[in-house]
Amino acid sequence: MSKQPAAPVVDGPMQQTFQPLLMLSHLTPVAEGSQRIIYVHPTDPTRLIKVLKPIADTKRRAKLATFTERHFPSLRTRWTRKEYGEYLRMMLHIRPTDIPPITHMYGFVQTDVGLGCISENVTDGGLGQTLHATKDNLSATDLALFNDTIARLYRFGIRAGDMTARNFVFGHRDYAGQQGPRECVLVDGFGDIHAIPVRSINDWCNALGLDDSCKRLAAKTGLRWDAKQRQFSLN
Ligand SMILES: Nc1ncnc2c1ncn2[C@@H]1O[C@H](COP(=O)(O)OP(=O)(O)OP(=O)(O)O)[C@@H](O)[C@H]1O
Ligand SMILES: [Mg+2]
């Protein structure tokens, strides 16, 4: 009788070398912020991958922020945790027919340049333009889209702690393989990142926080903020 080969014996923990799930290092990033480098997903152009930069490469950061992040590394990932928390809170709260004013988030993927955060891509030919890029020649149509997003941030009680002009993008999202209508989307800066999270107390406190953020955004963009109507207009 022929002898069966013995089954391999697993002795101790499985020895496996790290293999990233996605390779990005050969790609040219499409954008970068002060904290993250942005790549288009190599196999799905409707998605972006956002990878946290090494501390040494972070620009436009206050010296104090860099110092504290270096000594308290959890502060660097706090943003991501707050952002995800807010996305989750919104999705569990809005109706299926509501259009979120912020980008959908699709989890994380381990890449060869670091942990990647998968987010939907707001496109307009290439990457959509930001409010920062268009603010000096903002069309009436885009102003209306921007105001519609502002109204939904209030209506859905979105905690948005960093409403800068670079974080609003004009373009199209993908809806089940179809290009959606043109809209303005807050792609970053949501989540209550303040040391004392006043905005998280309730929607009323959050609305006061949004009022303050809109006032500051108006000063930065040259737009006029009507605090009563909670709408922007051209100066
Ligand atoms: N979902 C998106 N769709 C289209 N463009 C995007 C999207 N997310 C980011 N971008 C582009 O990439 C830039 C940087 O992205 P993001 O704001 O997420 O990076 P960050 O480093 O977290 O930013 P910050 O400097 O505000 O901390 C944005 O200003 C925008 O131009
Ligand atoms: Mg940003």
**What was the pLDDT predicted at 117?**
96
- Ligand 1 atom index nearest CA of 30: 12
Distance CA 168, CA 79 (A): 17
Give, using CA atoms, the residue closest to atom 9 of ligand 1.
187
Q: What integer pLDDT is reported at residue 161 of this predicted model?
A: 86
Residue 233 pLDDT more than 70?
yes
Cα–Cα distance, 94 to 112 (Å, whole number)? 35
Q: What is the C-alpha to C-alpha distance for residues 229 and 124, in angstroms, rounded to an integer?
A: 30
Give 143-192 pLDDT, tens digit per residue: 999 999 999 999 999 999 899 999 999 999 999 999 999 999 999 999 88
pLDDT digits (tens, 9 = 90+) for 15-57: 778 889 999 999 999 999 999 999 999 999 999 999 999 877 7
Give the SS3 label for residue 216: helix
Count the residues in the chain.
235
CA–centroid distance, residue 33 to ligand 2 (Å): 5
User: Atom 23, ligand 1: which residue's CA is nearest?
Assistant: 33
Ligand 1 nearest-atom number relative to CA 60: 25
Pocket mutation for ligand 1, best pick of 81, 117, 124, 187 (most atoms within 8 Å of C-beta): 187
pLDDT band at 11 (very low <50, low <70, confident <90, very high): low
What does the pLDDT average to over 213-227?
Answer: 97
Nearest atom, ligand 1, residue 123 CA: 4
pLDDT at 204 over 70: yes
**C-alpha of 155 from chain center:** 19
Does the pLDDT of residue 126 top 80, yes or no?
yes
3-state secondary structure 24-56: CCCCCCCEECCCEEEEECCCCCCEEEEEECCHH
- How is the chain split among helix, strand and coil, in percent rounded to 5? 35, 25, 40
In contact, 110 and 20? CB cutoff 8 Å: yes
Closest ligand relative to 57 C-alpha? 1
d(CA 117, CA 33): 14
Query: How wide is the angle at C-alpha 226 spanned by C-alphas 233 and 130, nearest 5°?
Result: 45
| 79 HSE (CA, 13 A, CB side) | 15
- Look at residue 97 in the predicted model and tell me its pLDDT: 96
Pocket of ligand 1, beta carbon within 6 A = 31-36, 38, 48, 50, 103, 119-122, 127-128, 130, 164, 166-167, 169, 187-189
Model pLDDT, residue 7: 61
Task: Give the residue-averaged pLDDT of 137-143.
Answer: 97
pLDDT greater than 80 at residue 110 = yes
**Residue 199, pLDDT score:** 87
Q: Atom of ligand 1 at shortest distance to CA of 133?
A: 31
Q: How far is the CA of 163 from the centre of ligand 2 (A)?
A: 9
